[in-house]
Amino acid sequence: MSYLERVKELKRGEIKPLYLLYGTESYLVEDITQRIIRNSLEQGEEEMNLIRLDMEETPVDLAVEEAYTFPFFGARKVVILKNAYFLTGQKRKEQVEHTVQKLADYAASPSEETVLIVQVPAEKPDERKKAVKLLRKHGAVLDASPLQESELQRWMTSRVEEEGASLGQGAAQRLLELAGTNLLVLSSELNKLAIRAGDGPIERRHVEELTARSLEQDIFALVDAVVKQDVTTAVRIYHDLLKQKESPLKITALMVRQFRILYQVKQLMQQGYGEKMIASRLKLHPYPVKLAARQARSFESSYLLRILDELAELDFRIKTGGVEEQFGVEWFLLSRNRREAGL
């Protein structure tokens, strides 16, 4: 079940005795966890009936014992098992020993007075493990993978509706362009925009007025200008970053990272991979991969490699004192020309 479907379920007051929350989008895991807590406990009960246990420090045997104990002056208790890496296939040096069968036994017959939330901060749990199979069978599951663009749009719409507002046409897309895909950042920006819009919808102009471009998005726009040989835009963005106290060396490093992503996306596209698979392979959010794929289609891999070589040379010269850093980066930007891309 998707995140938004889980939210609707909780809004209807439907609480399950078991939750398996996994995935790399920690905001979604924490948001669903907080909604479960609010729906499970009365106000003022958290101090006595909310138990958080770190599975990197606590044996699962003790966690299960805690789940079986009765709530203290309340109808329910909530037990959260954080960092349940022992349910993945990852080979980690565990600080504590887990008897995973104890969790499997509990999942098969959970306490009616306890809501057990198992958080697995990994792409997916090991489906071969009996405990995972039983958590899936008897509990509710959330795959908190990074949201695709369409899912991001729906998430933003749902988020502002909870604030009593709505999103006008083009506002969501512009917010993604300026703020990026970090859900915590987007949530904060949407709160500000909902207040600014008042009774009306959040319009694109509100986004332009209130939302500052993130560093990630500035670098993406800078790289976009470089590959398109738009020297004027590239130099303007560079000067804006300098005014924001970003160092030329850091800007160079971030450009290298973005050009490397462009090159990797280009290579994987040529091998027949789709954007979703590329995002998984490179461990990147699907939305910037989509943008990178759009950029990469216009340029040869050899051109992207040449730029990476030039940036590596620039980085070396800056670090060895061969060129003053601010001048060196600006000269790199000014030296772009249309012949390099074969246009």
pLDDT tens digits for range 279-329: 989 988 888 898 899 888 888 899 899 999 999 999 999 999 999 999 999
- The average pLDDT across 104-113 equals 95
Whether residue 132 is predicted with pLDDT greater than 90 in this model: the reply is yes
Domains annotated on the chain, with CATH: 3-143 (3.40.50.300), 150-210 (1.10.8.60), 215-341 (1.20.272.10)
Whole-model pTM? Answer: 0.77
pLDDT at site 90:
83
pLDDT at site 343:
42
3-state secondary structure the chain: CCHHHHHHHHHCCCCCCEEEEECCCHHHHHHHHHHHHHHHCCCCCHHHHEEEEECCCCCHHHHHHHHHCCCCCCCCEEEEEECCHHHCCCCCCCCCCCCHHHHHHHHHCCCCCEEEEEEECCCCCCCCCHHHHHHHHHCEEEECCCCCHHHHHHHHHHHHHHCCCCECCCHHHHHHHHHCCCHHHHHHHHHHHHHHHCCCCECHHHHHHHCCCCHHHHHHHHHHHHHCCCHHHHHHHHHHHHHCCCCHHHHHHHHHHHHHHHHHHHHHHHCCCCHHHHHHHHCCCHHHHHHHHHHHCCCCHHHHHHHHHHHHHHHHHHHCCCCCHHHHHHHHHHCCCHHHHCC
- The average pLDDT across 141-169 equals 90
